[in-house]
């Protein structure tokens, strides 16, 4: 029925980013109740050797959330681009379940709660006529959700909001004139799959920051000939406030997309210039799963190992390959799956272990020159030692 699309990366978007991310995803998962429902998360430009942000917080996600998540990783950033929100959302839309007629574009600090406690987000959407729908955003004070919300208890968090949000005077609707309807419309933009494909997705020319949500509102306003819907009588939307720490796009002089070009002066809903390529059409993207833990490199030798720092080991170049390997593999554990690792050294036992872990390993003996090895490798291991059991140590 419904595909939720969100994005993020493994960085510090506020000191409490990891907590509100887990709170949001776990609560969103509780609101999806139809077969085929999904949460598509695009991890955009986390550092090459870092895990995706959801891998980093996987122990704080419920099994329900993990089962609904589809994670795609985008590693490279377009030159000169400051924001790739449009690209991320389009990548998610392109890869959404084609059987789901509805797509909700939202953010990973939102919580949705049906006014009718017997409803879910999915059941509300299932009863809607075709259209484009918005929702007002209610702010949750930072100290409140930090203190009272447990990441792994989404039901309790939702119950807390149902019991206390109104009495805490948190329900304030901030309205905007015309097609925007509400302030901050980007936290809930519900559309049909057919409509967003017809108008060619989000505008990927908007790569500076701000107004992407307003752009979509204006284009959907044109597409539906002035008819925009809302769900304020069916659903509450709460935003986990995170303004205590300044983020990049909240800075005074942060760049932003041209309002006149991308909103005010728009005359047509579709984007012919990107029709054949939006959302990285045709690209085979890296997909990450949280349901299968990464392989543990185990050895049959479980004996305690000791190293003496004395004259007998001073200035030697030997080591135990099997004990070094777990720490070595940690450096390329999160590299792209197609990465090539270069190896320069003479430890055949360590090289064998590396080859069992990495699909493509290139050695100096297999290339014509050091320059070729450098050009063909994503990471190079310089090994100046030898396996301890192969070389006798002479004090």
Nearest of 329, 291, 240, 286 to residue 55 by alpha carbon:
291
Average pLDDT over residues 199-218: 94
pLDDT band, very low/low/confident/very high, at 243 (cuts 50, 70, 90): confident
- In this prediction, residue 79 carries a pLDDT of 47
| Torsional class of 175: left (φ above 0), alpha (ψ -120 to 50), beta (otherwise) | beta
> CATH number of the domain that 215 lies in?
3.90.550.10
Q: Are residues 151 and 250 in the same domain?
A: yes
* Claim to verify: residue 218 and residue 361 sit in the same structural domain: no
Split at pLDDT 50, 70, 90, the class of 287 is very high
Reported as a single tens digit per residue, the pLDDT across 152-183 is 999 999 999 999 999 999 999 999 999 999 99
Final residue belonging to a domain, choices 288, 320, 347: 288
b (16+ CB within 10 A) / e for 1-36 = bbbbbbbbbbeebbebbbbbbbbbbbbbbbbbeeee
The answer, yes or no, to whether residue 45 has pLDDT greater than 90, is no
Q: Round to whole Å and give the CA distance between 384 and 393.
A: 16
DSSP label of 261: I
Instruction: Please tell me the distance from the alpha carbon of residue 241 to that of residue 170, in angstroms, as a whole number.
Output: 12
In this structure, the answer to whether residues 31 and 50 fall within a common structural domain is yes
How does the average pLDDT of the chain come out, rounded?
A: 90
Would you say residue 299 has pLDDT above 50?
yes
Cα 4 to Cα 38: distance, rounded to the nearest angstrom:
6
pTM: predicted TM-score of the whole model, two decimal places: 0.89
Percent of the residues in the chain that have a pLDDT greater than 70, as a whole number = 92
Asked whether the beta carbons of 122 and 2 are under 8 A apart, the reply is yes
Over its C-alpha atoms, the chain yields an Rg (Å, rounded) of 26
Residue 249 predicted with pLDDT over 80: no
Between CA 22 and CA 194 the distance in angstroms is 30
DSSP 150-218: -TT-HHHHHHHHHHHTTTTT-----B-SGGG-BSSGGG-EEEEHHHHHHTTSS-TT--SSS-HHHHHHH
In terms of domains, do 112 and 232 share one? yes
Total domain count for the chain? 2
Of 270, 288, 306, which marks where a domain is finished? 288
As a whole number, mean pLDDT of residues 249-271 equals 86
Same domain, 281 and 311: no
Q: Cβ contacts of residue 194 below 8 Å, gap of 6+? A: 101, 130
Looking at 121-125, 143-147, 355-359, which range is the least confident one?
A: 355-359
Regarding whether 178 and 210 lie in a shared domain, the answer is yes
Q: What whole-number distance in Å separates Cα of residue 353 and Cα of residue 347? A: 10
pLDDT at 295: 65
Please check the confidence at residue 309 and state whether its pLDDT lies above 90. no
Strands 360-363 and 386-387: unpaired
Indicate if 191 and 66 belong to the same structural domain. yes
Rounded (10°) angle between helices 85-94 and 212-223: 50
Do 223 and 358 have their domain in common? no
With a cut of 50, say whether residue 307 has pLDDT above it: yes
73 and 216, same domain (yes or no): yes
The domain containing residue 365 runs over which residues? Answer: 295-395
Q: Please check whether residues 221 and 332 belong to one and the same domain.
A: no
Question: Above 80 in pLDDT, residue 150?
Answer: yes
Residues facing residue 179 across a β-bridge: none
318-319/386-387 β-pairing: parallel
Q: Which helix (H) or strand (E) holds 381?
A: strand 379-382
**pLDDT above 90 covers what percent of the chain?**
66
Judgement on whether residues 226 and 303 belong to the same structural domain of the protein: no
252 confidence band (pLDDT: 50, 70, 90): low
Residue given tokens 């994005």 in the structure block: 7
Per-residue pLDDT at 395 = 46
Specify the pLDDT at position 333: 79
Average pLDDT over residues 72-89: 79
Domain end: 272, 288, 304, which one? 288
What is the reported pLDDT for 18?
Answer: 94
Q: Which tens digits make up the pLDDT trace of 321-360?
A: 888 888 888 887 788 878 889 999 999 999 998 888 887 8
Asked if residue 389 and residue 252 are part of one domain, the reply reads no
């Amino acid at each position: 029925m419904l595909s939720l699309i969100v994005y993020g990366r493994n960085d510090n978007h506020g000191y409490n980013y990891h907590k509100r991310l887990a709170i949001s995803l776990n609560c969103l998962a509780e609101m999806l109740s139809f077969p085929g429902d999904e949460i598509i998360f695009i991890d955009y430009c986390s550092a090459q050797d870092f895990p995706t942000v959801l891998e980093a917080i996987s122990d704080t996600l419920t099994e329900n959330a993990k089962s609904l998540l589809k994670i795609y990783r985008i590693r490279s950033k377009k030159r000169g681009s400051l924001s790739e929100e449009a690209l991320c959302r389009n990548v998610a839309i392109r890869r959404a379940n084609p059987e789901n007629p509805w797509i909700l574009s939202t953010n990973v600090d939102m919580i949705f709660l049906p006014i009718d406690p017997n409803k879910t987000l999915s059941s509300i959407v299932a009863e809607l006529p075709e259209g484009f729908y918005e929702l007002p955003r209610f702010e949750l004070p930072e100290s409140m959700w930090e203190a009272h919300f447990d990441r792994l208890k989404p039901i309790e968090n939702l119950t807390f909001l149902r019991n206390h949000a109104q009495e805490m005077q948190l329900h304030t609707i901030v309205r905007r004139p015309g097609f925007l309807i509400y302030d901050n419309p980007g936290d809930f933009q519900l559309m049909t799959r057919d409509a967003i494909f017809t108008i060619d997705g989000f505008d990927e020319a908007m790569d500076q920051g701000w107004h992407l949500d307003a752009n979509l509102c204006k284009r959907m306003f044109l597409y539906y000939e002035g008819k925009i819907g809302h769900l304020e009588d069916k659903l509450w939307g709460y935003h986990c406030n995170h303004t205590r720490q300044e983020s990049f796009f909240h800075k005074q002089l942060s760049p932003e997309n041209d309002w006149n070009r991308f909103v005010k002066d728009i005359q047509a809903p579709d984007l012919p210039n990107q029709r054949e390529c939006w959302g990285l059409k045709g690209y085979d993207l890296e997909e990450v799963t949280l349901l299968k833990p990464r392989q543990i490199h185990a050895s049959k030798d479980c004996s305690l190992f000791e190293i003496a720092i004395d004259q007998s080991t001073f200035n030697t170049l030997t080591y135990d390959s099997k004990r070094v390997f777990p720490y070595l593999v940690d450096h390329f554990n999160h590299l792209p799956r197609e990465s090539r690792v270069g190896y320069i050294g003479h430890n055949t036992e360590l090289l064998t272990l590396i080859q069992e872990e990495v699909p493509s390993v290139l050695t100096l003996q297999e290339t014509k020159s050091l320059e070729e090895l450098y050009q063909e490798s994503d990471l190079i291991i310089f090994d100046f030692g030898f396996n301890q059991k192969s070389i006798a140590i002479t004090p």
